[in-house]
């Protein structure tokens, strides 16, 4: 059971990291602002989903 827990934890951390990186990249390409990139990176997958739905 502990091995499954470690695998799940790794997958979740990777997903969060990728979501943040994707949000920062999208934000930078659209706004060219470090402040907005940081804010959107904080919201990660929520910003990515919003961007996909509104574009």
Whether the CB-CB separation of 24 and 37 falls below 8 Å is answered with yes
| DSSP per-residue letters across 1-55 | -HHHHHHHHHHHHHHHHHHHHHHHHHHHHHH--HHHHHHHHHHTHHHHHHHHHH-
Please give the average pLDDT of every successive group of 10 residues along the chain, which has 55 residues. 66 79 95 95 94 94
Q: What is the pTM of this model?
A: 0.75
Residue 16: what pLDDT? Answer: 76
């Amino acid at each position: 059971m502990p091995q499954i827990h470690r695998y799940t934890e790794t997958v979740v951390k990777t997903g969060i990291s990728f979501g943040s990186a994707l949000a920062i990249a999208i934000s930078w390409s659209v706004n060219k602002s470090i402040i907005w990139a940081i804010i959107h990176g904080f919201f990660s997958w929520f910003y990515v989903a919003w961007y996909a739905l509104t574009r």
